Amino acid sequence: MTTTMSRPTTRSTPKLDAPEVVKGLRTAFGTGQTRSYEWRRDQLQAMKRMLVEREPEFMDALAADMGKPPTEAYAADVGFVVAEIDYTLRHLRRWMRPQRVYAPLVTKPSRARLMREPLGVVLVIAPWNYPVHLLLAPVVGALAAGNCVAAKPSEVTANTSALLARLIPEYLDTDCIKVVEGGVTETQALLAEQFDHIFYTGNATVARVVMEAAAKHLTPVTLELGGKSPVIVDETANLEVAARRVAWGKFLNAGQTCIAPDYVLVAKPVADKFVEHVRRAVFDFYGHEPKDSPDYARIVDARHWQRLVGLLDSGTAAIGGQHDEKSRYLAPTVLRDVAPDSPAMQEEIFGPVLPVLTVDSVDEAISFVNDRDKPLALYLFSESKDVQERVLANTSSGGVCINATVFHVVVPGLPFGGVGPSGQGAYHGRSTFETFSHTKSVLHKRARPDLALAYPPYTERKDKLLRRFL
């Protein structure tokens, strides 16, 4: 790699006073300034300027934290948020308009509508794997909905956290958006406060802590988690294309992606060919020595690197397996001969290790998936329409890609979220705006005429009329 990664000491917000942070945000929200279209628009435009004008600094921070190649850093972190802002700005006026709904005859003369109003003060807690994208994309929706925001970047990617903490106050409304740096102590301090919504992206263990803290205040939560996202490859699949797309989705960001393919269930007759196509794809992407490729990232820290290296014993490395602790390098790796109860199949891998298991039929693959927790994503490679519909109808997952991996995340009209252990709630595009809004039901009824039909005393005639018009 041409970039030297640095590991700065975890930064904390100086003398964090969490109650005072939340109080300040509530005071700002109480002024009503965040409710106007103009304020929301201005904040989103300012965030876009920050990302565009300071892009080199974001590239440097992401490279220092994770060795992210510039193209990946832009597409999956900075550019993703810019696209989300552009989409939101194009549609924000329409999203904010009241929505007329049907009012039944018994309520006439009247009109009914839905109004979206901001929740108030919200907390966004981001992970380290896409530290710009996964902090700012939820914040885009929170600001678009008219909220004040406490934003907690991950302390693991300390360079990016420090940059966000420095730049956000330069561009955005400092009364309404606060960045809180730090680790467990600072996160716990924030969770002790009462928010109107908490948006957490990360692992299930911390999610339980977040839910427990939120329950004390009856605070709603959105949890974007993960799990073991499976790939099913049947005999009709274009194996070369399938292998390239699986390899790309898996080894993007060195596998540190919540929707990365976690394992492959491939039809036994084509398993060897599929693996050979993956081998070719890895060579095409990263050359003979991925360690020397400028396009291959590194594991975020020593703890995660050690955990991933330990998973290599779950099978035989058909591809890769090389590793270097000093640079936190782990080669793109494919494991064969993996038992379903091996360590690599018991936890989300979240790294560049891909177990490939064989199945005798699509039905066996469906049963294998259904015997485990519902995943955040499911990927199917098949040219058979019947197989495609069968898998869609008989499995449950947060999202699905057919003959692709990962790309469903970039479609703003597709809500992104998990189901069961892989998460609750969804965002992206309008879904993010809706997540951070309260939909208020409003009925307008005229004072005249004031029909006595609904009032006591109830008569046989009133009863008949009510039964007819309800």
Residue 424's beta-bridge partner residues?
Answer: 223
Alpha-helix runs per DSSP H in 395-459? 430-435
User: Domain containing 32: what range?
Assistant: 18-225+421-440
Distance CA 152, CA 133 (A): 13
Any domain includes 386: yes
CATH of the domain at 266: 3.40.309.10
241 and 211 within one domain: no
Question: What's the pLDDT score for residue 2?
Answer: 39
Distance CA 180, CA 163 (A): 12
Any domain includes 194: yes
Any domain includes 459: no
Q: Is 124 helix (H, G, I), strand (E, B) or coil?
A: strand
Type of residue found at 277: H
Cα angle 125, 126, 127 (rounded to 5 degrees) comes to: 135
Any domain includes 466: no
| Contact residues for 401 (Cβ-Cβ < 8 A; gap 6+) | 377, 378, 379, 380, 407, 408
Any domain includes 446: no
299 and 217 within one domain: no
Tell me the pTM.
0.94
Any domain includes 87: yes
284 and 190 within one domain: no
373 and 290 within one domain: yes
Distance CA 242, CA 97 (A): 43
Q: Which residues are catalytic?
A: 224, 258
Q: Say whether the peptide bond before residue 457 is cis (omega within 30 degrees of 0).
A: yes
83 and 180 within one domain: yes
Any domain includes 445: no
Any domain includes 454: no
Q: How far is CA 98 from CA 93, 145, 282, 466, in A?
A: 10, 13, 51, 30
380 and 290 within one domain: yes
Distance CA 151, CA 164 (A): 10
Q: Is 6 helix (H, G, I), strand (E, B) or coil?
A: coil
Counting the structural domains of the chain, the total is 2
Which residues of the chain register pLDDT less than 50? Answer: 1-4
329 and 428 within one domain: no
Distance CA 465, CA 270 (A): 69
362 and 218 within one domain: no
218 and 124 within one domain: yes
Residue 277: HSE in the Cβ half-sphere, 13 Å Cα cutoff: 20
CATH of the domain at 213: 3.40.605.10
35 and 84 within one domain: yes
Q: Which tokens belong to 20?
A: 């005072």
DSSP classification of residue 76: I
Phi and psi (nearest 5°) for 68? -70, 130
pLDDT 10s digits, 331-373: 999 999 999 999 999 999 999 999 999 999 999 999 999 999 9
234 and 221 within one domain: no
String of DSSP letters for 342-404: SGGGTS---SSEEEEEEES-HHHHHHHHHTSPPPSEEEEE-S-HHHHHHHHHH---SEEEES-
Q: Is 123 helix (H, G, I), strand (E, B) or coil?
A: strand
Q: Is 179 helix (H, G, I), strand (E, B) or coil?
A: strand
247 and 325 within one domain: yes
pLDDT 10s digits, 431-441: 999 999 999 99
